[in-house]
Amino acid sequence: MKIWVDGRLVEEGEAKVTVLSPSLNYGFGVFEGIRAYWSGENLYVFRLREHMERFLRSARIIGLEVPYTAEELSKAVVETVRGNGFKEDLYIRPVAYISRPQISLDVRGLQASVAIAALPFGKYLKVEGVRAAVVSWRRVHTSMMPVMAKATGIYLNSIMAAVEARARGYDEAIMLNAEGKVVEGSGENVFIVRRGFLMTPPLEDGILEGITRETVITIAGDLGIPLLEKSITREELYAADEAFFVGTAAEITPIIEIDGRILPRGPITQRIAETYRRIVLGREEKYLAWLTPVY
């Protein structure tokens, strides 16, 4: 497999970083997760530009200097996929990191390296739906960490949540914030349906500004599904008529159980999931601008 590293495609074994990198030791880096879908005729990268723009926003938030534009990074993603000759569904991982060794915590002025890898990727969570648990680990607060940035170090929080949920026999975690409001899964945004309304936590509750989340909000508007961005209590989560996770890896995944409480796989979840699938395969003309063809 070939990986793009600072303008060159190299073999995976050549893509190396020093063990003294502050990105490895202190979590000072940012990354993205992007999907590409094989339609049978072409490979489409979904919302590539938006992902690269968020990548650069994340870097700016934590003070990491990335020497590329969103356009240059988008072209690098296509180059990486073409260079590997992929013609199947993919997961694409750009990451910005410090490649030079440094022990000091003063990372000012250090320019980032960027690597882009792509690999064949199927379903991340169970298509039929997942059993979720509200875990004891709280989502880090925006006053403690820059939660709007998709930063590598913040994901220790997600790892701890995911490990706890799986150790308890569940498929995925749901985290609350410091105020006890529902925020997100270990790597996904959360939606619920109550009384005909689609609901999702607002940005100010400390969620990641998800691109799939924004996609679902757009789809819901186009389908005429009323939507509220509002704080969600744990009780509302338990009382939901439907619930689902969304994310690049998770796509649209129904939540069929929360802390032992059974939820149906309802019609709103299904409509959104079916529309999303048609969009990413290039079968909805209205949304073709969201797709970047590789070939």
Q: What digits encode the pLDDT tens for the residues 259-293?
A: 999 998 899 999 999 999 999 999 999 999 999 99
> Cα–Cα distance between 175 and 156 in angstroms, integer?
13
Q: What does the pLDDT average to over 173-186?
A: 97
Taking only the tens place, the pLDDT of each residue in 75-93 is 999 999 999 999 999 999 9
**Is the CB of residue 94 less than 8 Å from the CB of residue 77?**
yes
The predicted pLDDT at position 80 comes to 98
What's 241's DSSP letter?
A: S
pLDDT value for 251: 97
Supply the pLDDT for residue 52.
Answer: 98
DSSP 8-state secondary structure symbol assigned to residue 232 = B
Q: In the prediction, which pLDDT does 265 show? A: 82
pLDDT digits (tens, 9 = 90+) for 60-71: 999 999 999 999
- Residue pair 165/135 in contact (Cβ under 8 Å)? The answer is yes
For 245-256, write each residue's pLDDT tens digit. Answer: 999 999 999 999
Contact 186, 175 (CB under 8 A): yes
Q: Report the percent of the chain where pLDDT is more than 90.
A: 98
CB 45 within 8 A of CB 294: yes
The stretch 41-52 carries a mean pLDDT of 97
Both structure tokens of 58:
């994340």
> What is the DSSP code string of 10-30?
EEGGG----TT-HHHHH---E
With 90 as the cut, is the pLDDT of residue 238 above it? yes
- Residue 242: helix, strand or coil by DSSP? strand
pLDDT value of position 264: 85
| pLDDT tens-place string over residues 127-152 | 999 999 999 999 999 999 999 999 99
Name the phi and psi angles at 257, rounded to 5: -160, 135
CA-CA-CA-CA dihedral for 148, 151, 156, 158, to nearest 10: 50
Residue 191: is its pLDDT beyond 90? yes
Which of 11, 78, 94, 44 is CA-nearest to residue 291? 44
* pLDDT for res 150: 98
Is residue 181 flagged as an active site residue?
Answer: no
What residues contact residue 20 under an 8 Å CB cut-off, 6+ apart? 101, 102, 103
Which of 55, 23, 50 shows the shortest CA–CA distance to 211? 50
Q: Which has the closest alpha carbon to 107: 73, 148, 46, 151?
A: 151
pTM comes to 0.95
Determine the pLDDT at residue 5: 98
> Which of these is catalytic: 150, 181, 230, 286?
150
The mean pLDDT value for 32-36 works out to 98
What pLDDT does residue 207 have? Answer: 97
The CA distances from residue 137 to 32, 110, 131, 184, 246, in Å, are 23, 32, 18, 12, 20
